[in-house]
């Protein structure tokens, strides 16, 4: 700013108001250029999702065309979109709730209580946060392979529970009637424990926990401790202190944590690919199945991509502030 | 807080136990398992009882393995270029656009968007844009080449970006830059705006110009933040594989086969679970060392407790 000012002072003597405005214009031009670079690819995706395959395959980019909802229609009517949407939602929401519930408690203990191993706990949390998901693939195959094998052979104590659960859920009124909606919902349950969703919930929670614990520790430390101390003097148990005093004050912290947990569970691909099956694929996995031997179904892929983008986009528009808070918490706070 | 001796142990354990269980079952046991399996020859699809104990043979094999060396080299190049360019661009944009301005929140919202998009979707969009036949990017490169024939000598013609060994990695790097530069930008911007105003004023009164302020006041004060951000970014690049999985799946040849993808391909294509675990151990080692670096700068336990 200063160097700009001194330069133009020597070359041309313009009133200072003009210089400031000129700088502003440059500022906006830069911002708009960056925004266009960011939005361009996303816009292209949404645009392409309304094109027919013929238009998509043309060598020149087509900006004006007769839009069609054929791609969306195909996905929803013939590709069991609803089933996979429910799968994604079930995994995403369950792991989010589980993670928040568990990490709130852990963060409270680490931030407010003194106990042996507290420092170690905090450090371990930070280090396991960095475990690459790819590392989990082999153990998952080992673990889940053994699990499914034992279920199939009936050698595990769990197989009895699982079979009973599956036959019970299948016999309920919910799943014996035959509307499309119910057909989509029932596979969510009827495959029981073996269709990978429970595994996904476990691994997403484990991958997200270190971050949410860390985040919530930061939030708890900003709350003055006096209130809690007063409550303890009045004879409140630690559980009452957490539920009645901290929990209400931590709402914004939970909001930030929820956004990040849900985002990862909703977008994740690798573990979902390994763990889920034909009936339980989450949306990102389902999308990649349109890359076929016979060719890439770009129209369907872009329609899926657009639909997958909707929840993160809504989150961005309605809670940009919380997202930034969460992102900077990792680096700035500590 | 005064608590009896019993309470000191029992209450914190109850609060922490659920988190510990999930972390142990979901992360720590699998990591230990990966270490353990790395000493065995175990093929996918066979029962664990048929696995064969090899001792350190898998590790010896890895040291002599050209593929792993290529993979590490690719990972290092990919990490170096993405993080360097992202940091430079992110810091430069943050410095240039630091001043508060009307409508900043709108732009900030737009800049967050790429971070929220699923890596699968990002990979698919860029795969489509870079497509040799129908890709938008190829169309404009060719158009420029046709308009200025001279530029055709410099490669302004249609390319199969993801199909040529020399171009695939740069294409992936550009994709990563598109998605993650905004992350650096937002963090550095937040850091800049949190710098204490008195120091800035003092430097300003002392007659420091913009360049001096940036080089000698702002950047040194921001250094810890910059280092932590850089380390976080490096670890994330090491961990990520989804975009590469979608766009090239490590090809053509081995030219984009980063370590984490190599684990997946060894396990699920070569069906060699023991060897995949060896590569996992290396990857864990690298990320562990890097995260210790973050710990030095940014330790949650170091801040005073109550």
Which tokens is B103 given? 């409508």
Query: Is 60 exceeded by the pLDDT of residue A69?
Result: yes
Query: Number of Cβ pairs closer than 8 Å across A and B?
Result: 323
Closest CB to B238 among A3, A132, A330: A132
Low-confidence residues of chain B: pLDDT under 70: 1-8, 298-306
Q: What angle do CA B278, A121, B263 make, to 5 degrees?
A: 15
Query: B125: Cβ–Cβ under 8 A, 6 or more apart, which residues?
Result: A41, A42, A44, A45, A302, A305
Distance (Å) from the C-alpha of residue A169 to the closest C-alpha of chain B?
27
ipTM of the predicted structure?
Answer: 0.87
Report pLDDT for A301.
92
Closest chain A CA to residue B179: A38
Distance (Å) from the C-alpha of residue A206 to the closest C-alpha of chain B?
5
Report pLDDT for A7.
42
Coil, strand or helix: which one is A59? Answer: coil
* 3-state secondary structure labels for all residues of chain B: CCCCHHHHHHHHHHHHHHHHHHHHHHHHHHHHHHHHHCCEECECCCCHHHCEECCCHHHHHHHHCHHHHHHHHHHHHHHHHHHHHHHHHHHHHHHHCCCCCCCHHHHHHHHHHHHHCCHHHHHHHHHHHCCCCCCHHHHHHHHHHHHCHHHHHHCCCCCCCCCCHHHHHHHHHHHHHHHHHHHHHHHHHHHHHCCCHHHHHHHHHCCCCHHHHHHHHHHHHHHHHHHHHHHHHHHHHHHCCHHHHHHCCCCCCCCCCCHHHHHHHHHHCCCEHHHHHHHHHHHHHHHHHHHHHHHHHCCCCCCCCC
Which tokens is B221 given? 């004060």
- pLDDT tens-digit series, residues A280-291: 788 999 999 888
Kindly determine whether residue B291 and residue A129, on different chains, have CB atoms separated by under 8 Å.
yes
> Sorting pLDDT into bands at 50, 70 and 90, what band is A8?
very low
Report pLDDT for A1.
40
Show the domains of chain B with their CATH numbers. 1-37 (no CATH), 38-297 (1.10.3720.10)
- pLDDT tens-digit series, residues A10-24: 444 445 555 667 878
Report pLDDT for B8.
67
Which tokens is A16 given? 């200072």
Q: What angle do CA B186, A215, A89 make, to 5 degrees?
A: 85
Q: List all residues of chain A from 289 to 328 with a beta carbon under 8 Å from chain B.
A: 298, 301-302, 305, 308-309, 312-313, 315-317, 320, 323-324, 327-328
Provide mean pLDDT across the span A250-275: 90
Q: How far is CA A175 from the centre of its chain?
A: 29
Q: Name which of B218, B263, B301, B304 to mutate to probe chain A: the one with the most chain A Cβ atoms within 10 A of its Cβ.
A: B301
Q: List all residues of chain A from 15 to 34 with a beta carbon under 8 Å from chain B.
A: 24, 27-28, 30-31, 34
Kindly determine whether residue B225 and residue A135, on different chains, have CB atoms separated by under 8 Å.
no
Closest chain B CA to residue A55: B134
- pLDDT tens-digit series, residues B60-69: 988 888 889 9
Query: A141: Cβ–Cβ under 8 A, 6 or more apart, which residues?
Result: A274, B44, B267, B273
Q: List all residues of chain B from 151 to 190 with a beta carbon under 8 Å from chain A.
A: 178, 182-183, 186-187, 190
Kindly determine whether residue A315 and residue B276, on different chains, have CB atoms separated by under 8 Å.
no
Query: Is 80 exceeded by the pLDDT of residue A195?
Result: no
Provide mean pLDDT across the span A179-207: 64
* A158 contact B CB<8A: no
Rg (CA), chain B: 24
Closest CB to A27 among B16, B101, B239: B101
Provide mean pLDDT across the span A263-276: 89
- pLDDT tens-digit series, residues A108-151: 998 888 887 788 887 888 788 888 999 998 888 777 666 666 66
Query: A195: Cβ–Cβ under 8 A, 6 or more apart, which residues?
Result: A187, A276, A277, A279, A280
Closest CB to B210 among A2, A28, A328: A2
* A94 contact B CB<8A: no
* B59 contact A CB<8A: no
Picking from A261, A265, A131, A107, the residue whose alpha carbon sits closest to that of residue A197 is: A265
Chain B residues touching A332 at Cβ < 8 A = 187, 190-191, 194, 225
Q: What angle do CA A292, A294, A300 make, to 5 degrees?
A: 55
- How many other CB atoms are found less than 10 A from the CB of residue B193? 11
Burial class (CB in 10 A: 0-12, 13-18, 19+), A128: buried
Chain A residues touching B48 at Cβ < 8 A = 142, 146
d(CA B80, CA B197): 34
Which segment of A11-15, A23-27, A325-329 scores lowest on mean pLDDT?
A11-15
Closest chain B CA to residue A24: B101
Q: Name which of B11, B16, B288 to mutate to probe chain A: the one with the most chain A Cβ atoms within 10 A of its Cβ.
A: B16
* A192 contact B CB<8A: no
Report pLDDT for A176.
53
Report pLDDT for A119.
81
Distance (Å) from the C-alpha of residue B169 to the closest C-alpha of chain A?
19
Report pLDDT for B177.
95
Chain A residues touching B29 at Cβ < 8 A = 139
Distance (Å) from the C-alpha of residue B152 to the closest C-alpha of chain A?
19
Chain A residues touching B175 at Cβ < 8 A = none
* A54 contact B CB<8A: no
* B68 contact A CB<8A: no
Characterise B8 by phi-psi region: left (phi > 0), alpha (psi -120 to 50), beta (else).
Answer: alpha
């Amino acid at each position: 700013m200063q160097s700009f000012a001194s330069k133009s002072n020597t070359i041309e003597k313009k009133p200072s108001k003009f210089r400031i405005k000129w700088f502003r214009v440059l500022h906006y031009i830069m911002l708009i250029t960056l925004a266009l670079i960011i939005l361009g690819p996303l816009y292209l995706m949404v645009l392409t999702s309304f094109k027919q395959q013929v238009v998509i395959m043309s060598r020149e980019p087509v900006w004006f065309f007769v839009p069609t909802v054929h791609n969306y229609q195909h996905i929803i009517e013939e590709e069991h979109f609803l089933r996979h949407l429910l799968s994604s939602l079930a995994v995403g929401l369950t792991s989010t709730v589980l993670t928040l519930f568990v990490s709130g408690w852990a963060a409270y203990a680490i931030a407010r209580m003194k106990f042996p191993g507290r420092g170690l706990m905090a450090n371990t949390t930070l280090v396991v946060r960095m475990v690459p998901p790819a590392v989990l693939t082999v153990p998952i195959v080992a673990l889940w392979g053994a699990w499914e094998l034992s279920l199939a052979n009936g050698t595990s104590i769990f197989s009895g529970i699982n079979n009973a659960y599956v036959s019970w859920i299948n016999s309920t009124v919910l799943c014996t009637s035959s509307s499309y909606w119910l057909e989509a919902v029932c596979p969510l349950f009827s495959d029981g424990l073996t269709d990978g969703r429970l595994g996904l919930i476990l691994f997403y929670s484990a991958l997200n926990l270190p971050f949410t614990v860390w985040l919530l520790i930061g939030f708890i430390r900003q709350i003055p401790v006096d209130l809690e101390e007063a409550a303890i003097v009045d004879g409140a148990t630690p559980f009452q202190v957490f539920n009645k005093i901290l929990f209400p004050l931590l709402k914004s912290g939970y909001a930030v944590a929820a956004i990040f947990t849900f985002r990862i569970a909703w977008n994740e691909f690798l573990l979902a690919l390994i763990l889920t099956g034909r009936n339980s694929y989450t949306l990102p996995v389902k999308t990649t199945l349109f890359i076929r031997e016979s060719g890439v179904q770009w129209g369907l892929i872009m329609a899926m991509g657009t639909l997958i983008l909707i929840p993160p986009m809504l989150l961005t528009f309605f809670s940009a502030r919380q997202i930034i808070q969460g992102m900077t918490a990792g680096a700035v706070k500590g | 807080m005064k608590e009896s001796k019993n309470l000191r142990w029992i209450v914190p354990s109850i609060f922490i136990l659920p988190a510990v269980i999930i972390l142990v079952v979901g992360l720590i046991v699998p990591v230990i398992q990966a270490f353990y399996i790395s000493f065995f020859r175990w093929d996918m699809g066979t029962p664990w009882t048929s696995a064969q104990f090899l001792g350190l043979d898998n590790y010896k094999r890895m040291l002599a393995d050209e593929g792993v060396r290529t993979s590490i080299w690719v990972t290092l190049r990919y990490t170096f270029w993405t993080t360097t360019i992202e940091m430079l661009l992110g810091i430069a944009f943050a410095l240039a656009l630091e001043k508060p301005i009307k409508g900043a929140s709108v732009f900030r919202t737009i800049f967050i968007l790429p971070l929220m998009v699923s890596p699968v979707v990002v990979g698919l969009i860029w795969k489509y844009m870079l497509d040799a036949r129908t890709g938008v990017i190829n169309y404009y490169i060719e158009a420029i080449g046709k308009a200025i024939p001279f530029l055709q000598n410099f490669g302004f013609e249609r390319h199969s970006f993801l199909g040529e060994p020399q171009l695939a990695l740069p294409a992936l790097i550009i994709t990563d830059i598109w998605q993650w530069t905004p992350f650096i930008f937002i963090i550095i911007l937040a850091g800049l705006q949190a710098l204490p105003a008195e120091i800035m004023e003092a430097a300003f009164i002392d007659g420091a110009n913009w360049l001096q302020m940036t080089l000698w006041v702002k950047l040194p004060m921001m250094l810890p933040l910059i280092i932590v951000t850089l380390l976080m970014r490096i670890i994330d690049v090491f961990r990520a594989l989804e975009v590469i999985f979608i766009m090239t799946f490590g090809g053509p040849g081995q030219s984009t086969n980063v370590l984490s993808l190599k684990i997946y391909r060894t396990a699920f294509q070569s069906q060699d679970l023991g060897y995949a675990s060896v590569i996992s151990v290396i990857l864990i080692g690298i990320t562990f060392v890097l995260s210790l670096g973050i710990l030095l700068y940014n330790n949650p336990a170091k801040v005073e407790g109550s």
